[in-house]
Amino acid sequence: MTIPANTSRRRHALGDISVLYLHVMARAVAAQDHDIGPDFEQFGISETLLQAPEARISIPRFMRLGHAAILRTGQPSLGLTMGALTRPIDAGLSGLAGMSAATAGEGLATIIRYSLLNSRNSRGHPRYETDRQRACFYSIRPYNRYNFFVVDSVMAGWTQFLRRMTGQHAVLEQVCIEYPDQGEQAAFEAWFGCPVTFGAPENHIQIRPEIARTPSREAHPAMHRALQQQCDTQLKRIRGGWTVIDQVREKLTPMLEGQSPSLEDVAAELGMAPWTLQRQLNAEQSRFKDLLDETRRDLAADYVLETRLNFAEIAWLLGFSGPPAFHKAYRRWFGMSPGQHREPVQP
């Protein structure tokens, strides 16, 4: 089926991730005595792409590839292996900046602060709470067999970083994971070395206070300052090209879940008065109502074509009142139902 011309949309509306993390996945599969090569070939991951450190792939493509790797190895907890094999350099410049920080807590905070250099997810951003010694990973509800490993690999990678920084194994007090236990609690508690709570309100690792304060074994103040400056420069380059429209789109996506945010809601997230936001949008010849519709349209196409989420879940993620409202909007956008659009790509 030929996709209508009006399906044109921004690339990677759901976000993207550095190909550096594909190398981590390949090492994890190899550690299970398997070759990820056939999966790379299936998903169009060429050697040229792998050797381009600035290259990225879409988040849905990364999740489908991870699921294929889990099927190949038969290891549902492959994300833990990915975390165990994650090195600071796998986070690029931000990883090196974090490794040279004065303390373990400061190092992890550095990696998280510059996470946009390695990945961009429309669902949210990780954060480090210095006062609570807690590293939090945003929610990627609804959870399914395609995204469990993402949470596992990120929080296991943070844990491995702390272990490398301090030379100690017992670095955490507790791990909280949003999705339900998949029968792996014993394996998770053995790997993290602390209690693990599934079905929690949020994803986070609780760091032992003394670990957060532990001096890094590879601290280098001068290099840390220099690397932070380079990270700041890259971050400004990324954000410097953002228009007000881009900023509104970035805030809108995580706010859509189960609701339709207003201009006032988005203005509050951006730290400005509603009339100021309206004036700036007018200056860019845009209206909030149109931006909301366009953002939903772009995300809808990615959800339908690049994920296995059912249409009720997609309707909720996009803030529609229910599946009928979502189907009606989808036909208006693309001239076909979401089922007709998905069928040729995902039988």
The structure's pTM equals 0.86
Residue 244 has pLDDT above 50, yes or no: yes
For residue range 1-52, what is the model confidence (pLDDT) as tens digits?
333 333 333 456 889 999 999 999 999 999 999 999 999 999 999 999 999 8
**Res 1: pLDDT:** 30
Q: Between residues 79 and 123, which one has the greater pLDDT?
A: 79
Confidence category of residue 81, pLDDT binned at 50, 70, 90: very high
With vertex at residue 181, the alpha carbon angle to CA 310 and CA 204, rounded to the nearest 5 degrees, is: 95
Mean pLDDT of the chain: 91
Residue 347 has pLDDT above 60, yes or no: no
Average pLDDT for 195-209: 97
* 316, 275 Cβ separation under 8 angstroms: no
Average pLDDT for 310-319: 94
Interhelix angle 323-334/288-306, nearest 10 degrees: 100
Angstrom CA distances, 334 to 91, 292, 331, 338, stand at 38, 16, 5, 9
Q: How far apart are CA 246 and CA 312, in angstroms?
A: 27
**Res 58: pLDDT:** 92
Q: Which amino acid is at 288?
A: F
* 212, 105 Cβ separation under 8 angstroms: yes
For residue range 273-314, what is the model confidence (pLDDT) as tens digits?
999 999 999 999 999 999 999 999 999 999 998 888 999 999
Q: And the tokens for 226?
A: 């220099």
Angstrom CA distances, 169 to 120, 161, 165, stand at 30, 11, 10
Average pLDDT for 328-343: 93
For residue range 94-138, what is the model confidence (pLDDT) as tens digits?
999 999 999 999 999 999 999 999 998 888 899 999 999 999 999
**Res 344: pLDDT:** 58
Confidence category of residue 54, pLDDT binned at 50, 70, 90: confident
Q: Which residue has the tokens 């796998």?
A: 90
**Res 126: pLDDT:** 96
* 19, 65 Cβ separation under 8 angstroms: no
Residue 197 has pLDDT above 90, yes or no: yes
For residue range 247-266, what is the model confidence (pLDDT) as tens digits?
898 889 889 988 899 999 99
**Res 11: pLDDT:** 53
